């Protein structure tokens, strides 16, 4: 295949699905991951990428699953040009009520997975002398509300992981970005806030975020490697 290839986690819904649609529109072949296969197949369908996309059911908080995702993308699509890590977990829990398991799950899904995926893709990027990584962080990484101790800490870790990886990647042509939105109109956000608490006209559309992610991968933002790019309608 002649298409550039993007691996997208969290691609079953929300920002990940919107990113799949945007990158398919720009000619990318897709390797999509989430735990729910039917959602991934639906994303391939709405992106019009069934003939140049694969659905890989995976829990990317598991390092072996992240390795398998990258291996499958390379085996079945031939190369990897971009890794977009959208999968996230955002429990709202006071510190005194958070279990150790929930703390670890939050750190592993948001932060550790970014490391597992970058580590797995790095040798291919080195061989190709290039590649792009976009990790989705959150405005909560600099301004968390109460109950977001684990999530805010995980996303702040994502921000610094991105800067560090960008410095390592520069000599071999690997660019790394962190896109950090405020409220986005998705299932995740609506499981936390009702429209009465946070009206729809104040949320970003997932497609707004997806265009910025695509701009990091191949657009004007390609010269912003290492940066955290914050997006919001209201501060």
Give which of 132, 139, 118 is closest to 229, Cα–Cα. Answer: 139
- Angle (deg, nearest 10), helices 113-128 and 149-169: 10
- Using CB under 6 A as the binding rule, the residues of this chain from 4 to 33 that contact ligand NAP are 9-10, 12-16, 33
109 belongs to the binding site for ligand NAP (CB under 6 A) = yes
Which two three-digit tokens encode residue 165?
Answer: 């990886």
Query: For residues 53 and 181, which CB has a smaller minimum distance to ligand NAP in the complex?
Result: 181
And the tokens for 200?
């729809």
* Smallest distance from ligand NAP to CB 221, Å: 17
Q: How far apart are CA 55 and CA 39, in angstroms?
A: 9
Give the C-alpha distances (Å, rounded to integers) separating 17 from 85, 88, 104, 135.
12, 13, 25, 15
112 binds ligand NAP (CB under 6 A): no
| Nearest alpha carbon to residue 65 among 31, 22, 113 | 113
Q: Are 22 and 214 in contact (CB under 8 A)?
A: yes
Could you give the string, one character per residue 155-184, with x where binding to ligand NAP holds by CB under 6 A and - elsewhere? --------------------------x-xx
| 198 classed as catalytic | no
Of 28 and 189, nearer to ligand NAP (C-beta) is 189
Buried (b) or exposed (e) across 130-151, using 16+ Cβ within 10 A?
Answer: ebbbbbbbbbbbeebeebbebb
| Cβ 201 to ligand NAP shortest distance, Å | 14
Q: Does position 89 bind ligand NAP by CB under 6 A?
A: yes
- Restricted to residues 199-228, the positions that interact with ligand NAP (CB under 6 A) are none
Looking at the Cβ atoms of 36 and 170, the one nearer to ligand NAP is 36
Q: Which of 28, 151, 223, 230 is catalytic?
A: 151
CB of 126 to ligand NAP, least distance (A): 25
Grouping H, G, I as helix, E, B as strand and the rest as coil, residue 69 is helix
Site for ligand NAP in 28-47 (CB under 6 A): 33-36, 39
Residues 30, 45: contact at Cβ < 8 Å?
no
The residues annotated with a catalytic role in the active site are 151
Binding residues (CB under 6 A) for ligand NAP: these are 9-10, 12-16, 33-36, 39, 58-61, 86-90, 109, 136, 138, 181, 183-184, 186-189
């Amino acid at each position: 295949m002649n298409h550039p290839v993007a691996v997208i986690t969290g691609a079953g819904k929300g920002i990940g699905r919107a990113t799949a649609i945007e990158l398919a529109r720009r000619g990318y072949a897709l390797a999509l991951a989430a735990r729910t296969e039917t959602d991934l197949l639906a994303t391939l369908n709405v992106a019009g990428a069934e003939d140049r996309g694969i659905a890989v059911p995976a829990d990317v908080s598991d390092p072996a699953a992240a390795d398998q995702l990258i291996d499958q993308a390379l085996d079945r699509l031939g190369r990897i040009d971009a890794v977009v890590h959208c999968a996230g977990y955002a429990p709202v829990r006071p510190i005194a009520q958070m279990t150790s398991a929930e703390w670890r799950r939050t750190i592993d899904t948001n932060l550790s997975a970014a490391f597992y995926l970058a580590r797995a893709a790095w040798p291919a990027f080195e061989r190709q002398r290039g590649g792009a990584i976009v990790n989705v962080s959150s405005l909560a990484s600099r301004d968390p509300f109460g109950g977001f101790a684990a999530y805010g800490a995980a996303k702040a870790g994502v921000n610094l992981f991105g800067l560090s990886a960008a410095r390592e990647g520069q000599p071999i042509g690997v660019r790394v970005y962190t896109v950090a939105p405020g409220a986005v109109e998705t299932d995740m956000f609506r499981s936390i806030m009702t429209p009465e608490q946070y009206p729809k006209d104040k949320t970003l559309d997932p497609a707004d975020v997806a265009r910025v992610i695509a701009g990091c991968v191949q657009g004007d933002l390609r010269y912003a490697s290492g940066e955290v790019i914050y997006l919001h309608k209201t501060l």
